[in-house]
Amino acid sequence: MKALSQKRRHPLAAVALLLLGLLLTGGLYAAATSINEAQATNTADVYSASDVEEGERLFVANCATCHGINAQGSDAGPSLIGSGAAAVDFQVGTGRMPMQMSGPQAQKKPAQFNDEQTMQLSAYVASLGSGPALPSEEYLDVEQGNIARGGELFRINCAMCHNAAAAGGALTEGKYAPALDGVEARHIYSAMVTGPQNMPEFNDSNIPPEDKRDIIAFLKNNESQGVPGGFSLGSLGPVSEGLLIWTLGLALLIGSMVWLTSRSS
């Protein structure tokens, strides 16, 4: 025990611990770098070199002002390294990017780029580092989805912001959760894995791809139902319905009082 205690107090012990820490840090960095390199290599299996090259040209011409010439980010926009193809497909495909104006959050608008250009931009950003990729078609096939299970998952994970009827809702500081009616299946999936705006990220550990497909199936089924009552009142539930009844009831009461007063005179 005495010999062991003396070794612990050896003058070189601190140096040895420092070297060990540097080796561990270097190993972790090398592992992370190899993951990014593997992602860049895998990108070639999905996108051609010409797609990446054309995507870079589009990026420099339309996105570099905010996100930096190498997508490293700037004061006007975040870094896109590691964002992945899914983030670009969602933001650009829904018209949120490029932003029309500064505000609490990017608003949906007509897309500025067509599908091919969006794919090329996605290819370029995906080539920069690992990130969520576009979903495979099997996870977008709502025919294979479980609607009942999807409705349960949606109410647990999404309804507190997007409303139980997926009609959207207000958040803090001028932000909002958008309505999901008419949103393409791939954009819904991409939003879940990338967490745009104030939305949390739901990776495959939180919600597996099959469950994401169930949620999309529920939303598409809900969308196909229309409005059985004839007037949705914004699908805001008892608040809007109660306000309508109160307003109509009060108007009828005041109208009745005016009519009775005119009759008595």
Per-residue pLDDT of 2-28, as tens digits, reads 554 555 556 666 666 667 777 777 666
Residue 39 in any domain: the answer is no
Q: Which two tokens stand for residue 15?
A: 């140096």
Does residue 125 share a domain with residue 53?
Answer: yes
Residue 71 in any domain: the answer is yes
What total of structural domains would you count in the chain? 2
**Number of other CB atoms surrounding residue 174 within 10 Å:** 9
Residue 101 in any domain: the answer is yes
pTM, rounded to two decimals: 0.72
Last residue of a domain, one of 134, 160, 185: 134
Quick: pLDDT tens for 77-119: 899 999 999 999 999 999 999 988 888 888 899 999 999 999 9
Residue 222 in any domain: the answer is yes
Q: What pLDDT is attached to residue 120? A: 96
**Number of other CB atoms surrounding residue 79 within 10 Å:** 15
Does residue 151 share a domain with residue 122?
Answer: no
**Mean pLDDT in residue range 239-262:** 82
**Mean pLDDT in residue range 136-160:** 94
Q: Give the domain range for residue 108.
A: 47-134
Q: What pLDDT is attached to residue 5? A: 54
Residue 203 in any domain: the answer is yes
Residue 130 in any domain: the answer is yes
Q: For the domain that residue 130 is a member of, what is the CATH number?
A: 1.10.760.10
d(CA 111, CA 189): 18
Does residue 145 share a domain with residue 127?
Answer: no
d(CA 176, CA 183): 16
Residue 42 in any domain: the answer is no
- pLDDT of 168 higher than 60: yes
User: Beta strands of the chain (E only): which ranges?
Assistant: 169-170, 176-177
Residue 67 annotated as lining a ligand binding site: yes
Does residue 122 share a domain with residue 110?
Answer: yes
Does residue 125 share a domain with residue 54?
Answer: yes
Does residue 125 share a domain with residue 59?
Answer: yes
Q: Which residue has the tokens 């008595």?
A: 264
Residue 187 annotated as lining a ligand binding site: no
Does residue 159 share a domain with residue 118?
Answer: no
Quick: pLDDT tens for 117-128: 999 999 999 999
Cβ–Cβ under 8 Å, residues 84 and 40: no
Does residue 61 share a domain with residue 83?
Answer: yes
Does residue 92 share a domain with residue 67?
Answer: yes
Does residue 139 share a domain with residue 113?
Answer: no
Give the C-alpha distances (Å, rounded to integers) separating 229 from 63, 226, 240, 245: 45, 9, 14, 15
Q: Which of 37-51, 98-112, 229-243 holds the top average pLDDT?
A: 98-112
Does residue 199 share a domain with residue 128?
Answer: no
- pLDDT of 231 higher than 50: yes
Quick: pLDDT tens for 189-224: 999 999 998 899 999 999 999 999 999 999 999 888
Residue 7 in any domain: the answer is no
Q: Which two tokens stand for residue 21?
A: 């820490």
**Mean pLDDT in residue range 22-45:** 54
Does residue 105 share a domain with residue 84?
Answer: yes
Q: What pLDDT is attached to residue 3? A: 54
> How does residue 259 score in pLDDT terms, banded at 50, 70 and 90?
confident
Residue 66 annotated as lining a ligand binding site: yes
Q: Which two tokens stand for residue 11?
A: 């003058």
Q: What pLDDT is attached to residue 39? A: 43
Cβ–Cβ under 8 Å, residues 146 and 214: yes
